[in-house]
Structure 1
Amino acid sequence: MKTEMCKIVLHDGYDKALAALKEKHHCIIAGNPGIGKTTLAKILLCHYAQEGFEPLVVNNDIGDAWALISKGQDRKMAILYDDFLGQTRYDQLKFGKNEDSLLVQLIRFTERSHNIRFILTSREYIIADARISHGVFDAYVDLIKKCTINLSDYSFTHRAKVLFNHLYFSNLPRDKVKAIVDSKLYVKIIQHRHFNPRIVSAIANKANSDSLSPEAFLEYIDTRFDNPAEIWARPFQNEIMPLSRWVLAALWTLGGAARLEVLKEAVLELSSCAYEAELALEFGNSLREVAENFISSEAYPCSKDSSKMITVVSFQNPSISDYIESFLRSEIAWIETLASKTIFFEQHLQLISLLESSVFDKKSDIAGVQLVRLNDGFDKPKGAIYRSFEGPLVFTDRDIFSANERGLALLKLASFLSPEHPDHKRARKIITTEEGWSKQFNNLAKMGSVPYATIRLIKWVVGSVYWNGHEKLIKRSFYRALFACINSQPDWCEELSTLNVLHECLSILGISLTTLEKLKFQTDANRAANKILKNEDDIQRLEEAADNLEKFQERMRFGNRQVVLDLRIKAESQSLSRQEDPSEMDEVALSLDEESFDLDLLFSELLY
C-alpha cells in the first residue's frame, strides 16, 4: 500500500467522491478499465483512516459488508467493496442470494449512519449490464451517489505527475529512463488520447523491458499505448514458458482466483498422463515465473482448521484477465483443450460465458465436449473465501453453487446443440418434467441460495430456445413440482425471502394462482414476517423482511401494509440507537495549481 501511495496524484475525482461521501455517506466510483477507480477508493480509505475510521474491505459479497457492520457495532468504519458487480463482466452469481436487495438495504442504512462510509467501484459497462439484469438494482442505482472518473479528470499537470511518479519509483534501468527523457516521449504519453494510469504502471515495470534496447523500449511504449490488454502480449507470448501460459489460462477458467492446489490440479488435468510427474515439478517453476508480472498470492486460514493456511492465487490486476480472455477468443484450439479438461464447476461457467459472448465456429462441438464432462461428474467445487462469524476471512473448500446452477449450465450448453441431439433432449427434461423441477427444488426451504438460483434459471429459460416450443410444458411441470413441495408439509417454508422469490417466479412464468393458493402464500408470508418482527433486532434482517413483504404484496395486490411499516419502524429505531453525533470529517482537498508548471524541468529530475 505504501508503494502504491508513493505514485498517487490527487485529481478532481477525489474531491467529487469525498463530497458525495460527505452528503450521502456512500459512493460508487465508476469509470473505464485502468482509469484509477480502485486507486481512488484506496486514497479515500486512507483519508478516513486518518480521521479515525477503521478501513475495511469486502472480500466476497454484500453479506460480508453486513458482517463487518454487525461486528463493528458503534465503531467508525470506512468500507470498500471493489468491483462489487464483478471484475471484468457482470457476475450474476455474485448477486446470488438476494444481493441486489441487500445492497439497497445497506445503502439506506449507510445514509442514516454517521459512523459509516461505504465506497463501491465498478466499470461503467458492468453497471449498465446489471441494470438490465436486476430490476431491484435498476430501481435504486440512481439513488446511490455515483462519482464517474473520466479522462478529463486528469489535467495536463495531473498526467505529468502520474507519469513522473511511476517512473521515479520504478525499477527501470537508467538507460531506459534516460531514453524517455531525452526523446521527450513523456510529452506524447501525457497528451495521448488513451492516457491511462494502468498503462503507465505497466510500461514502468522492468519485467516488460528486460529484453529490449532503449530504442526498442521507446517503440514498445509508443505502439502498445492504444490497447491496454496488448501490454501483456509480449511477456505472455514470448517471455514465459509454454506451461506458464497454460497456468494463466487455467487460472482464467477458475474466475481469476483459486486455491493453489486447485490451480495445480486444473493444470495437471491439461497434461497427458505420461508427462504428469514432470509437469508437477515444472508447475512450481512456472508459478515463480508468472509471479513476477502476472499473479499474486495470499494465505487464508482454513475454515475447518484455523492452524492450516490455504494459499490463494489470483491475477495481479483485471487487465491481465482481459488479455487472457482476448487471447482465448483468438485461439479456438486453446478453448477446445480447456473445455475437454474441465474438472471444476467454475471452469464450466467461465467457458460458457465465453461461448455466449463470442462469435466463432465450433461452438456446438465445444459445448458438446463440456456437456460430456459435466454429465460425467467433472464439476468439483474450487472453494471460496468468506468472512467467518468471528470476523476474519477464511477459506472454505465448498462452493455457493446449487443443483439449479448445474441445471442452468447444462441447459445453456445444450442450447448450442441441435434440438434433435440426445444431449439437448436430455437437458430439456430439467425444465419440461415435474421430476426435473422437483430435483431443482431439493432443499428449497432450507438452503437460502436455492430460490435465487431458481429465479436466475427461470429468467434465462423464458428468453431461451426452449421457451418457444415448450412454454406450456415448462409452466405445467413447474407448477406441479412447486405445489407438490408446498403441500408436502403444513409449514413448508419459514423464509420470507424464499416465499417472495418463488411467487416472483410464478409471475415471470405467467402462472395464475387460485384464491386458495394465494391465501396459502399470503398466510405463510405474514407468519414469517411477524416472526421476524417479534424476534429479530438485526437491522439488515428487518430491512430485508420489509422489502420482501412489500414486493410480495405489490404482486399479490393485497396484504397487511402495517406489517411492512412496523418492520421499517423497528429497523429505523435500531439504527438510531446506534448513532453518534455527526462530525465534519469529509473535508475536500485543494486542487492542483496548473500555473507555473515546467514539464521539462520536472522530468529532467529523473536523471539526477
Structure 2
Amino acid sequence: MRNFSVLSDLDFESVVSDLIAGEVGTHVERFARGADGGIDLRWRLPGGQLAIAQCKHYFKSSFSQLLASAKDEVSKVKKQAPGEYRFYTSFDLTVSQKQKIYELFSSWMSGPELVYGGRDIDGELTRNGEVERRHIKLWLSTGTELFWATNSELASRSSMLRTRLERTLNTYIEGDSYEESMKILDEHNVCLIAGVPGIGKSALAQMLVASYLALGYQPIEVSEDIKEAWAALDTKHSQIFFYDDFLGQISFSERMGKNEDSRLANFIDAVGGMKHKKLVMTTREYILRDARRDYRRLVDLGDDLHFILELDDYSRLDRAQILYSHLWHADVSVECLAELSDGGWKRIVDHSGYNPRLIEYCTGPSFDSSSKGYLDRFVDILTHPEELWRNAYERHLIDSQKALLLTLASMPVQASHPDLQAAYLSFCSESHLHANAASFRSSLEMLEMTFISIAKRGAEVMVSFHSPSVAEFILDQIREDPATLSSLIASVVFFEQLTALRNATGEDSSFSTSASSGVVRHMPINLFGDEFTEALMGTFESPSPVKILNQSGYVTGYEDPYGLFENRLEAVLGLEPELRPPNTWIESRLVFLADRWKNLQGEKSDAIRLYRKVSKLQKDRSISVSEEVLAEFHETLESWLSSSLEGTSDWSAFVDFNSFEDVDDIDDDIRDQFLDHALSELDAWDPSPPDLNDLVELAELFDVYPSIEESVAEAHQREEEHDAKQEDDSHATRYPRSRMSETGGDIDEMFNRFKASES
C-alpha cells in the first residue's frame, strides 16, 4: 500500500477530491474545516441531488479514535441529508472495521463499499495513475519506495540518504524552484544549487534525486571527494549523483585538494555528455565565489548549470504551505497549534526573517512546542537568527571581508559602490588592515548573494545586505565589540554613518537584541563621546551617501538631498547633551544654514522644523547661542519663505511658519497671489495637480475656494476617468491563478484547522 504518511490532511483531501472528480466527471467542491457541517467535499449526482464526502487522515491514530471521530459526524450528516455520503480514510481498515463505520452512515450509503480505507484508495490510485502523478509527494514516495524495495543492496548502502529523502518528502512543498531546477537538470544533466545557509538547498536537491529515483535511476551520494563518483560511474545503469556542500560546509579548503577542481570539472563534462547520468550539487554561494577565484577550472562551470535559490523564490502561499506541512508532521501540541489559527500564522509567513531551516527547527524536537507562547517563541527565532550566520562569519570570512560587512552596517540601506569603497578603505586603515580597491572588489564578489546583494540602478552599482537578519547579525558584532565600534567612529567618511551607528547602538535602539548569554546587551555610543563628537563636527559638510533617485528609481547624480544640512543639524541637536558639539560650533552651523537660505538652498519644511527645535532648546536652556545669531536665523528663514512662493509646497511652508489662525491675518495681496497660483496649477496639470488636496485646503484657508471650485471639480472628474482607464488596462493584462489565493483567506482556512477545538 502507498505511504500516505507523506501527505498532510490537506494533501489527502486533495488526492481524494481528484479521485472522485475523475470518477464522477464533475467538479468537486472543497471546504474548510470548522465551517463544513460534516462536509469536506461536495458534488452533484446525475439526478441533481448533492453528494458529500468526509476525509479522515488518521494514519497516526488507532481505529477507536477514528470510530469516535466518525460518530461525531453523524449528527452533521443528518442535517445535510445528502443523496449520497462517502467516508474516506487513510487508515487500513479490516472488513469488520469498515462495517462498523458503514453502520453509522447506512442511511446515506448504498453499501459498505462507500467506506474507503487506505487499501481502497490505493487501488483507486493504481487505476488512475494521472491523479497520483499530479501529487508529486505521493508519486515520489511511491516511486522511491518501489526503487528501494527492488534494489535492496543499494538501499542498505544508501540508508542515510534514504532516511533524509523520506524526511524531506514529508514536508516539502513543490514550488517554482523545483520546476526550474528540474528543467536545468533535464536539459544539462547537471544542476548546481547555490544559496545562503538555511534557504533549502539540500531539500531541493533531495527532491531532484527522489524524482529520478522514481524513474529508476540509481543514487550515488558523494561524501568526501569527486573520486567517489568516478569510481561508481557505471555506463550500464541510469545514475544520479548527489554531492551536497561539494565545496565544504565552511570553506572550500575542506574538500578542494590538489587537482580537485580539474577532476570535478572533468566529471561534470563527462556527465553532461551521457544520456542517463545526472549530477546534483549544492554549495553556499559565498564559498563558490571564493573557490572560483582560486581554482581556474571552477570558473568554467557555466551559468546555465547554476540555480540560485533565494527567499524570493517562495511565494506567500509556498511559505504558508511549508509551515503548515512541517506543523502537520511535527509533534506540536494542539494548544500551540491553535496559536497559529485566526491569523496568527501571518506573524511567521510574512516575517522578513522567514527561512525554511528556521521553520524546520521551530517545528522540531529541540524546540519547545508544547507550552503556551509557542508563536512568540517562533517569531523570536525568526527575528534573531544570529546563529544562522555566526558559523560562516566567524570561521570562513577573512578580516577584510568582515570589515566590508561592518562598514556596510554603518551605511544607508543601499550604499553606492564608490561610497562604500571609500568608507571601507578608511575603516581598514583605522583598523590596520591592508586593503585596496582590488581587495574591496574581491570581498564584494565573495559576499554577494549570501551576506550582501548587489544591484545596478541606472549607471550606479548599489550594495545592501542580503536580508534584514544578516544586517542584524552584523550589528550585533558591532554592539558586542568596543574596539570595532571605536574604529568605525574614528574612520567615518560620511555624517550619516554616525547617525546609523548611534541609532543601532544606543540604549533606545530598536535593534537591541539578546546576546548568547541571554542578557540584553548594548554598546552605548556614549562610551565614545569625545570620538563621536569630533567625528560629527568633521563630517557635517561631507557629501551624502544617500543618492537622489528619479521617478524610475535610478540614480541621477551625486547631488545632496534637499534638507541635508537641516536634517543633520536637527540630528545633532537631538543627541544627548554629552554628545553634542560646543555651543560655538552650533552657532557656526546656524550661520552656515542662514547663508544657504539666502541663496535659496535647502528644504523649507525641514528648515521650519529645525528652527522650532532650536528655539525650544534655547528656551529650555539646553543650548546657548547668541540672541543676534538666533534673530538673524529667524529673519533669514522668514524672508526665504515669503520671497519664493512658486509651488504649492512653498505656500504650505509659508502658512505653516506663519501659523495663520484666521483669514483676517492674511494680507489681501498674498491672498490674490495665492489665487493666481491655484488657477495656474489647475490649468497646467492633467489630469490634476499632484498636490490637489493641499491646494484645496490652502484655498479654503485663504477664503478663495469658491473661485476655484469649478476647476477643482473638473480636475476630480479627469482623475476618476484616468483611474478608471488604468484599472481597465490592469484587468486586461491580468491572468487567472489556478492555485490557492495568497491574499490570506484560503490560507486562514488552512491554519484554522489547528484550532484546539478540532480533533
Match of 1:300 in 2: 457
Q: 1:182 to 1:519 in 2, by over 3 A?
A: closer
Q: 1:202 to 1:245 in 2, by over 3 A?
A: farther
Q: How does 1:50-199 map to 2 (within 5 A)?
A: 164-165=173-174, 170-172=200-202, 186-188=330-332, 191=337, 196-197=348-349
Unaligned runs of 5+ in 1: 1-9, 11-159, 303-309, 599-608
C-alpha deviations, 1:162-212, integer Å up to 9, x for none? 86458995312799999x99999855599597873468853549xx99xxx
Q: 1:478 to 1:398 in 2, by over 3 A?
A: closer
- 1:266 maps to a residue whose letter is A
8 A Cα contact 1:166 1:204, kept in partner: no
Match of 2:140 in 1: none
Match of 1:380 in 2: 543
Q: Aligned partners of 1:244 and 1:538: how far apart in 2?
A: 52
C-alpha deviations, 1:499-523, integer Å up to 9, x for none? 212331343xxx9999787556434
Matched, 1:227 2:381: yes
SS in 2 for 1:382: coil
8 A Cα contact 1:496 1:525, kept in partner: no
SS in 1 for 2:412: coil
Matched, 1:340 2:490: yes
Q: Aligned partners of 1:502 and 1:262: how far apart in 2?
A: 36
Q: 1:561 to 1:376 in 2, by over 3 A?
A: same
Q: 1:346 to 1:559 in 2, by over 3 A?
A: same
- 2:725 maps to a residue whose letter is E
Matched, 1:481 2:636: yes
- 1:411 maps to a residue whose letter is L
SS in 1 for 2:604: helix
CA RMSD of aligned residues (A): 5.1
Q: How far is the alpha carbon of 1:250 from its aligned partner?
A: 1.5
Q: How far is the alpha carbon of 1:481 from its aligned partner?
A: 2.0
Identity %: 16
Q: 1:278 to 1:543 in 2, by over 3 A?
A: closer
Q: How far is the alpha carbon of 1:492 from its aligned partner?
A: 3.5
Q: Aligned partners of 1:203 and 1:258: how far apart in 2?
A: 28
Matched, 1:529 2:529: no
Q: How far is the alpha carbon of 1:352 from its aligned partner?
A: 3.9
Unaligned runs of 5+ in 2: 1-9, 11-168, 179-199, 211-321, 370-376, 513-521, 755-759
Matched, 1:322 2:472: yes
Matched, 1:357 2:508: yes
C-alpha deviations, 1:350-393, integer Å up to 9, x for none? 234334834967644645434433433462232526336xx683
Q: Aligned partners of 1:333 and 1:456: how far apart in 2?
A: 36
Q: 1:521 to 1:227 in 2, by over 3 A?
A: farther
- 1:548 maps to a residue whose letter is D
C-alpha deviations, 1:266-303, integer Å up to 9, x for none? 1110022795654544333332332242211112333x
Larger Rg, first or second structure (1 or 2): 2
8 A Cα contact 1:367 1:417, kept in partner: yes
8 A Cα contact 1:533 1:566, kept in partner: no
Q: Aligned partners of 1:486 and 1:201: how far apart in 2?
A: 48
Q: Aligned partners of 2:381 and 2:669: how far apart in 1?
A: 58
Match of 1:397 in 2: 558
Match of 2:646 in 1: 494
8 A Cα contact 1:384 1:396, kept in partner: yes
8 A Cα contact 2:353 2:468, kept in partner: no
RCO comparison, higher one (Cα < 8 Å, 6+): 1
Moved more, 280-289 or 582-591: 582-591
- 2:416 maps to a residue whose letter is R
Match of 2:703 in 1: 559
C-alpha deviations, 1:44-87, integer Å up to 9, x for none? xxxxxxxxxxxxxxxxxxxxxxxxxxxxxxxxxxxxxxxxxxxx
Match of 1:441 in 2: 597
Matched, 1:547 2:703: no
8 A Cα contact 2:547 2:558, kept in partner: yes
Q: Aligned partners of 1:407 and 1:201: how far apart in 2?
A: 38
SS in 1 for 2:746: coil
Matched, 1:568 2:598: no
Q: Aligned partners of 1:504 and 1:272: how far apart in 2?
A: 47
Normalising by structure 2, we get a TM-score of: 0.43
Q: 1:220 to 1:475 in 2, by over 3 A?
A: same
Q: 1:514 to 1:196 in 2, by over 3 A?
A: closer
Match of 1:454 in 2: 607
SS in 1 for 2:463: strand
Q: How far is the alpha carbon of 1:456 from its aligned partner?
A: 4.0
Aligned residues: 401
Q: Aligned partners of 1:566 and 1:438: how far apart in 2?
A: 41
- 1:503 maps to a residue whose letter is V
Q: How far is the alpha carbon of 1:576 from its aligned partner?
A: 4.0
Q: Aligned partners of 2:175 and 2:396: how far apart in 1?
A: 23
Q: How far is the alpha carbon of 1:497 from its aligned partner?
A: 1.0
Counterpart of 1:268 (choices 417, 421, 425) is: 425
SS in 2 for 1:298: strand
Match of 1:28 in 2: none
Q: 1:330 to 1:543 in 2, by over 3 A?
A: same
Q: Aligned partners of 1:168 and 1:428: how far apart in 2?
A: 59
- 2:451 maps to a residue whose letter is F
Match of 1:312 in 2: 462
Q: 1:387 to 1:582 in 2, by over 3 A?
A: closer
Match of 2:531 in 1: 369
Q: How far is the alpha carbon of 1:450 from its aligned partner?
A: 0.8
Counterpart of 1:244 (choices 401, 404, 429) is: 401
Normalising by structure 1, we get a TM-score of: 0.53
Counterpart of 2:577 (choices 416, 419, 422) is: 416
SS in 2 for 1:253: coil
- 2:442 maps to a residue whose letter is N
Q: Aligned partners of 1:361 and 1:392: how far apart in 2?
A: 35
8 A Cα contact 1:300 1:312, kept in partner: yes
Q: Aligned partners of 1:168 and 1:535: how far apart in 2?
A: 50
Q: 1:392 to 1:280 in 2, by over 3 A?
A: closer
8 A Cα contact 2:479 2:523, kept in partner: no
- 2:573 maps to a residue whose letter is L
8 A Cα contact 2:548 2:555, kept in partner: yes
Q: Aligned partners of 1:334 and 1:538: how far apart in 2?
A: 54
